[in-house]
Chains A and B, each alone.
Chain A
Amino acid sequence: MTKLTPYDRLKAVLDGENTKNLDRAPNLNILMFFAAYYINAPFGKFCTDYKTLVEGNLRCVEKFDIDVLSTMSDPVRETADFGTELDIPEDELPHPKRVLLPNIEDVQNLQLFDPLKSVRILDRIKAIELFKKERGDEYPILGWVEGPLAEASDLRGINDALIDVIDEDNEELFYELLEKCTQEAIWCAKAQVEAGAHIIGVGDAACSLINRDLYREKIVPYEKRIVEGIKQAGGIARLHICGNINHILEDIATVGFDIVDIDWMVDMKHAVEVMQGTGAVINGNIDPVAVVLNGSVSDVKNAVYKCRKEANGRAIISAGCEIPKFTKHENLLAFAEALYEQI
């Protein structure tokens, strides 16, 4: 079968082609710590220097047959540009020194920022431009924004944000926070598409922790607006929520995402069925720790075969979340091989 370029392979799947009719299913494995470690770069540098991020990703996609050039690094790019002071350790995840909005009333002073005049989102935009210069449209380029609840959690602290989402006493202020996070996400997404990103990922991890009614009533309307913004700009919208989202899959299906990532604890077969007819393609869902990190080559291959069978040619096959830093290279190579093999 003709070997497709990564961009054409993904495009075919998004246009509704069954992966059984292609050379293989796309592989959108998420590389962050792994990519930095692979090129022997400190993770702090990977997060703050777009050239390092681009080099790590370019070298990994070629070696491990991955189909996306990603700008993912850490969840606090917007958070920093909103004004949060970060601690950026040499080889650990950047994180706020203290939350920007310790009281929900502080949201009234929160100002939106222009992504083209920012620091950390601008660094991501430069990564996109460099990917584009290096590889044109051979690979899909993945930009990224934080979803409304994820960004609210980064600005308020996860505990307080998860109380805000249900606490009726401060509902109006929490909606104001979601509104500002949404407007900023749309602004950042458009700037990234204009810079050359084909896909915009929306990370909204905290949504796996809330009940279905809260997700549908309080979060879905904002996610819908971000998706509309991405699509109006000409981008493909991808959702990533870490953790178990079995309970909100039906609502996710209504948002309009083109790609929906599912983590290892989600039922692949069910997820594919739920998305049927909505235009969304499922992406997942091998266990990144038990299988990809700690498993053997044959464990990885068997998990990929199982996933492919469950998806029946209607999903992108990747690990459910980030490829762990110390994953053995042979396991990640086996992952790619298992996508080509007959099952």
Chain B
Amino acid sequence: MTDLNLLYEAILKGKQKSAVELTNAALADNVEPKLLIDEYMIKAMGEVGLRFENQEIFVPELLMAGRAMKASLNILQPIMKNSGQKTSIGKVVIGTVKGDLHDIGKNLVASMLEGCGFEVIDIGIDMDSEKFVEAVREHNADVLGLSALLTTTMPYMKTVIDALRDAGLRDKVKIVVGGAPISAGFASEIGADGYGETANSAVTAVKNLLGLGK
């Protein structure tokens, strides 16, 4: 039998190849995909988030862990879908707003959300309000994450929120904003539902807004 703790370790250490091998080995042992995800992979990413928050690890380690997690999920999710199982705890559309080309913060949040069991649709950088509206509608998103690093682009977050209102979607999606110049005060001023100062707190905000608690 495969030692499943090794899968936890592989994701924690960002070892993509090992994570894939262990996932395949566990499936060969008839271990349920949901058990692998809930009991080992999500827990590993939770630990990654904690270590990142405490500055025990930095962005490269977090990206490597996210990459390993995604590689394993790519094996498990089709199997779960085929057997009619739910593959995520919620759907999040995320992007960096128009005029802003910074994507590292957004990528970290996306990686952490995936690691916690969300389906993430990353629409990229420099996105205008129409693209956000389209993506929320098309994917029936539970949450929209808006990112901005520049003080010149952060006001565009309000433009996106207004566009969602005009499209009749505002009440159907929760909005979380984040990025270096963003504050809780700014988030509330522009009518966002939540704010994440760090990647981890963004995930917490998303969970709280969807009533998933801790």
Instruction: List A residues at the B interface (Cβ < 8 Å).
Output: 33, 92-93, 95, 158-159, 162-163, 165-167, 209-211, 214, 247, 289-290, 293, 324-326
Give A291 to B18 CA distance when docked, in angstroms: 47
Among listed B32-40, B53-61, B85-93, B205-213, interface-contacting one: B53-61
- Beyond A159-B63, A162-B63, whether A209 also contacts B58 by CB under 8 A is yes
Which residue of B is nearest A263, CB measured? B180
Residues of chain B within 8 A of A324, CB atoms compared: 151-152
Residues of chain A within 8 A of B152, CB atoms compared: 33, 324-326
Q: List 17 A-B contacts (CB under 8 A).
A: A95-B101, A158-B103, A158-B104, A159-B63, A159-B103, A159-B104, A162-B104, A165-B60, A166-B14, A209-B58, A209-B59, A209-B104, A211-B61, A289-B180, A290-B183, A325-B152, A326-B152
Residues of chain A within 8 A of B61, CB atoms compared: 166, 211
Which residue of B is nearest A95, CB measured? B101
B25 is an interface residue with CB less than 8 A from chain A:
no
Residues of chain B within 8 A of A209, CB atoms compared: 58-60, 104
Query: From residue B157, how far is it (CB to closest CB) to chain A in Å?
Result: 15
- Beyond A158-B104, A211-B57, whether A163 also contacts B64 by CB under 8 A is yes
Pair B151/A166 contact, Cβ less than 8 Å: no
Interface residues of B in 17-49 (CB under 8 A from A): none
Query: From residue A143, how far is it (CB to closest CB) to chain B in Å?
Result: 24
Give A324 to B149 CA distance when docked, in angstroms: 12
Give A33 to B151 CA distance when docked, in angstroms: 11
Q: Which of B55, B60, B181 contacts A289 (CB 8 A)?
A: B181
Q: A166-B61, A210-B60, A325-B152 are in contact. List 10 more A-B contacts (CB 8 A).
A: A95-B101, A159-B63, A163-B60, A209-B59, A209-B60, A209-B104, A210-B59, A211-B58, A211-B60, A324-B151
B67 is an interface residue with CB less than 8 A from chain A:
yes
Top-7 shortest CB links A-B: A166-B60, A209-B59, A324-B151, A289-B181, A211-B58, A162-B60, A95-B101
Residues of chain B within 8 A of A247, CB atoms compared: 55
Residues of chain A within 8 A of B183, CB atoms compared: 290
User: Count of A-B contacts with CB under 8 A?
Assistant: 49
Give a binary string over B93-114; 1 marks a CB under 8 Å from any A CB, 0 the rest.
0000001010110010000000
Pair A92/B99 contact, Cβ less than 8 Å: yes
Q: Say whether chain B's binding surface is mostly helix, strand, loop, or mixed.
A: loop
- Beyond A293-B151, A324-B151, whether A162 also contacts B59 by CB under 8 A is yes
Interface residues of B in 158-205 (CB under 8 A from A): 180-181, 183
Residues of chain B within 8 A of A165, CB atoms compared: 60
Give A162 to B101 CA distance when docked, in angstroms: 17
Which residue of B is nearest A246, CB measured? B55
- Beyond A247-B55, A289-B181, A325-B151, whether A167 also contacts B64 by CB under 8 A is yes
Query: From residue B171, how far is it (CB to closest CB) to chain A in Å?
Result: 30
Pair B64/A159 contact, Cβ less than 8 Å: no
Which residue of A is nearest B59, CB measured? A209
Give A119 to B60 CA distance when docked, in angstroms: 33
Give A281 to B101 CA distance when docked, in angstroms: 32
Give A232 to B94 CA distance when docked, in angstroms: 47
Give A92 to B125 CA distance when docked, in angstroms: 14
Give A290 to B151 CA distance when docked, in angstroms: 10
Give A95 to B101 CA distance when docked, in angstroms: 8
Give A326 to B153 CA distance when docked, in angstroms: 11
Query: From residue A323, how far is it (CB to closest CB) to chain B in Å?
Result: 10
Give a binary string over B2-26; 1 marks a CB under 8 Å from any A CB, 0 the rest.
0000000000001000000000000
- Beyond A95-B101, A158-B103, A159-B104, whether A326 also contacts B58 by CB under 8 A is no
Give A209 to B102 CA distance when docked, in angstroms: 14
Give A324 to B59 CA distance when docked, in angstroms: 26
Residues of chain B within 8 A of A166, CB atoms compared: 14, 60-61, 64
Residues of chain B within 8 A of A290, CB atoms compared: 183
Give A165 to B14 CA distance when docked, in angstroms: 13
Residues of chain A within 8 A of B104, CB atoms compared: 158-159, 162, 209
Pair A159/B107 contact, Cβ less than 8 Å: yes
Q: Which of A93, A159, A167 contacts B101 (CB 8 A)?
A: A93
Which residue of B is nearest A33, CB measured? B152
Pair A214/B60 contact, Cβ less than 8 Å: yes
Give A98 to B58 CA distance when docked, in angstroms: 26
Give A159 to B152 CA distance when docked, in angstroms: 23
Pair B151/A326 contact, Cβ less than 8 Å: yes
Residues of chain A within 8 A of B181, CB atoms compared: 289
Give A92 to B98 CA distance when docked, in angstroms: 10
Residues of chain A within 8 A of B107, CB atoms compared: 159
Interface centre among A247, A289, A324, A326 (most CB of B within 10 A): A289
Interface centre among A33, A93, A326 (most CB of B within 10 A): A93
Residues of chain B within 8 A of A210, CB atoms compared: 58-60
Which residue of B is nearest A324, CB measured? B151
Which residue of B is nearest A43, CB measured? B152
Query: From residue B156, how far is it (CB to closest CB) to chain A in Å?
Result: 12
Residues of chain A within 8 A of B60, CB atoms compared: 162-163, 165-166, 209-211, 214
